[in-house]
Amino acid sequence: MRYAETGFNLEIDLSRGSIQRVQSDPGLAGLYLGGLGTNAKILWDRVPPETEPFSPDNLLIFSAGLLCGTPAPGANRTIVSTFSPQTHLMAFSMMGGFFAPELKYAGYDKVILRGKSPKLVYLWIHNDKVEIRDASHLKGKGALETTELIKGELKEPKAHVAAIGLAGENRVHFASIEQGRSSASRLGVGAVMGDKGLKAIAVRGTKDVNIARPAEFIGLCSQVLDYIKYRVENPVKGVPAIFGSLGFQEMAIHDEAWHVTAFSWGNARHRRKGFWTEEVEKAWTATAEKVRLRLISCYNCPMQCGATMKYPGIHPYMMKCYSKLTYTMAAMSDLEFGLKIAGLAQEYGVDGYTTPQVMAFAVELYEAGILTDADMPGFPATNEERHFWLLEKIVRREGIGDVLADGVYWAARKIGRGAEAYDHNTTKKHEQMPIKLGVMNPIFYLMYATGEKMNITQIEGQVPQAPFVTRELREEFVKDWIQVPDEKFKEFVLNWEPTTPAPYYPSAEVVFDLVNWLESMHYIDDSLGLCAGLSSFPMKPPYHIHNLPKIISAATGLDIDEAELWKIARRNRNLVRAINVSRGMRRKDEKPPEDHWRKRFPEYEAELLDRYYAFKGWNHDGIPTQESLDELGLDYVSRDFIQRGILTDNGGASARESLAET
């Protein structure tokens, strides 16, 4: 009997219209857990590195994490994996809600899609009944409207639907997949879904998920719930309110002051000094309260991080996290504008982080004279109208929108005429969080530069973003910091003074260990299907490296201790990097946005990267060495790299790679 996982995947070939229920390898869970880890193994095995994102041979994988569908609080993440039309690298975007548990209850761990349908279709999964259905009547419909229409058509109100909007159908490179209370929005996974001719996946399941040791597992889950209650009642002191508790509490807490003073406006370039006043705060609070209908949770989670929103004239939509401010800050407007356009954008199905920056980028080019009325006939005169106009053009790929729909990096190079200088907030061709800070932070530098996720909120966590102001606050913080894997991290926080010069952080080795810990926890979460808001992102989460091995073992029956869990995280991390290396990613691509920090230290940054690569077991160009790969059981990767000339047979960079770098 398989525990925690169902042991079956759905294989769908949309070109042929074929459906197969395939038994998965039971040994993979012990090596990669599930979710992201097993997705990466499938992509490595089955999608050659020369495959284009919009090729029929590219796969689109919807995967329930290993613990999804179990009683583990917050285990509800669907991991959507494919190859990104923006970066041409591996994309993995997480969505919460109810889709992943429902997929498990229908009897499947993954839905693996290949090929392209000759007509628009949707997939209906109801336990053992799986159908590819005509969706021609849904063409052009919004993602949220599509969900309601499909539920009505199926006469199944309890079905959970993941759908694309107009942006996905038109292959906008930052199109999202919208699903009830969450979305998979980063890196263009919705564009790949649209390219395959798939409008939606609807799922309803009524089966069980088996647990290896139920009594032990329930006891461990109860401890997690007890800690959640404690942490909510005892928030971390000395940090912004949204970081003091658990989850992503932007919808429950009115803490816009932190965002508007720490983050940048427009195309991640401007600061609105003096903007935030008591009058603005009152007005924005009133707007949020007026538009927010109620707070909501994802499956089996006590935290209410999302909210149902209703703006007049717009279909009710769900919002969570920082996306409630991204449009506001892009247009340098107010919260009412931001919430209104966000609802429309969600119906169209576009990423709430990239889209605002693309629109602000276009406005900047227009104001600089790089784009003119000839490029944008009918461009409105007022700022807010401009952003609504641009959104419509982008999702339809009309006029200048056809260029902007590829994202800032590609649009800048297509436009030319100096537009490249306005591409100042992308990493690996992907728009980053619009942050503009002071002195370079080595921890965040390495996370930005080397992170495969290319999304800082899915890399960071568990460590303060800046030193506590007083020694008393630092001592208070470390007092109940039980999650740390090593006591030296407490010493790091205790000795981290506000005046510590960036190039002389306490110790580079501690910085490397910290980054590795933060990153490893995210890779574990994304394989288990755990919400980062209860594990890798908060500073003091209920899930951590000390209790997760027990939770995984009780659920699956696998014998996993801390050392083995670290190794699995390293294996998954290196496999994802290997996939991207095979597609051409190298050291030259590993850099944060140029003006992310006002003060930079180029020589120190280069040294950091050299030493961090060595710490990770990668060569000078960021390629995992043969020794590192073989130690992790990834010898099949090292053999491939040697055969392709990416590595020599002694594990170093090949002569061809060295010549290319020179």
| Confidence grade of residue 501 (pLDDT, cut at 50, 70, 90) | low
- Domain match, 412 and 493 both: no
Residues 319 and 445 in one domain: no
What is the mean pLDDT of the segment spanning 561-575? 98
Helix, strand, coil fractions of the chain, as percent rounded to 5: 45, 15, 40
418 in a structural domain: yes
310-319, 343-352, 569-578, range with the lowest pLDDT: 310-319
Q: Do 471 and 617 reside in the same domain of the chain?
A: yes
Q: What are phi and psi of 556, to 5 degrees?
A: -100, -20
The token pair that represents 79 in the structure block: 């991991």
Predicted pLDDT of residue 598: 81
Q: Does residue 342 sit in the same domain as residue 376?
A: yes
pLDDT surpasses 70 at 103? yes
Containing structural domain, residue 420: 237-431
Segment 403-427, tens digit of pLDDT: 999 999 999 999 999 999 999 888 8
Distance of CA 554 to the CA centre of its chain: 28
- Indicate the helix (H) or strand (E) that contains 473: helix 471-479
Burial status of residue 317 (CB atoms within 10 A of its CB: 0-12, 13-18, 19 or more): buried
Instruction: Classify residue 219: in a domain, yes or no.
Output: no
The answer to whether position 218 is within a domain reads no
Mean pLDDT across the chain, nearest whole number?
A: 92
pLDDT at 83: 98
* Structural domain contains residue 260: yes
pLDDT, tens digit (0-9, with 9 covering 90-100), for 473-483: 999 999 999 99
The pairing of beta strand 8-13 with beta strand 18-23? antiparallel
User: Averaged over 547-565, what is the pLDDT?
Assistant: 97
pLDDT of 458: 60
pLDDT category of residue 661 using cuts at 50, 70 and 90:
very low
Higher pLDDT, 312 or 205: 205
Supply the CATH number for residue 614's domain: 1.10.599.10
- Domain check: are 422 and 523 in the same one? no
Closest CA to 334 of 293, 403, 277: 277
Which is higher by pLDDT, 512 or 460?
512
CATH number for position 192: 3.60.9.10
pLDDT tens digit sequence for 374-407 = 999 999 999 999 999 999 999 999 999 999 999 9
Whether the pLDDT of residue 662 is over 60: the answer is no
**Residue 250 predicted with pLDDT over 80:** no
Per the domain annotation, does 326 fall within a domain? yes
Residue 397 lies in a domain: yes
Q: How confident is the model at residue 315 (pLDDT cuts 50, 70, 90)?
A: confident
pLDDT tens per residue, range 434-473: 777 778 888 888 988 999 887 766 668 888 878 888 999 9
Give me the pLDDT at residue 650, please.
63
CATH of the domain at 384: 1.10.569.10
Paired residues of 348 in beta bridges = none
Question: In this structure, are residues 43 and 114 in contact, taking their beta carbons and an 8 Å threshold?
Answer: no
Q: Is residue 211 part of a domain?
A: no
Question: Do 280 and 316 fall into the same domain?
Answer: yes
Alpha helices in 83-198 (DSSP H): 99-106, 143-154, 166-169, 189-195
Residues 500 and 396 in one domain: no
581 and 656 part of one domain: yes
Q: 320: part of which helix (H) or strand (E)?
A: strand 317-320
How far is it, in rounded angstroms, from Cα 467 to Cα 473?
10
For residues 467 and 615, membership in a common domain is answered with: yes
The torsion angle over the Cα atoms of residues 61, 67, 70 and 73, rounded to 10 degrees, is -110
pLDDT higher than threshold 60 for residue 504:
no
Return the top range by mean pLDDT from 97-101, 314-318, 497-501.
97-101
Q: How confident is the model at residue 503 (pLDDT cuts 50, 70, 90)?
A: low
Q: Tally the domains of the chain.
A: 3
> Is 70 exceeded by the pLDDT of residue 261?
yes
The mean pLDDT value for 191-195 works out to 98
Tell me: do 185 and 273 sit in the same domain.
no
pLDDT at 660 over 60: no
pLDDT in tens, 125-177: 999 999 999 999 999 999 999 999 999 999 999 999 999 999 999 999 999 99
Q: What is the pLDDT of residue 152?
A: 98
- Asked which of 204, 228, 250 is the last residue of a domain, the reply is 204
Final residue of a structural domain among 431, 447, 481: 431
Residue 101: predicted pLDDT? 98
Q: Give the end of a domain, one of 431, 453, 476.
A: 431
pLDDT at 656: 36
The arithmetic mean of pLDDT across residues 212-230, rounded, is: 97
The helix/strand/coil state of 661 is helix
> Do 89 and 144 have their domain in common?
yes
Which residue in 459, 532, 456, 465 sits closest to 493, CA to CA?
465
State whether 461 and 426 are in the same domain: no
Q: State the average pLDDT over residues 260-284.
A: 81
**Cα–Cα–Cα angle for 638, 642, 643, rounded to 5 degrees:** 115
Are residues 342 and 324 in contact, defined by beta-carbon separation less than 8 angstroms?
yes
DSSP single-letter state for residue 624: B
On the question of pLDDT at 255 being above 90, the answer is no
Residue 253, in any domain of the structure: yes
**% pLDDT > 90, the chain:** 72
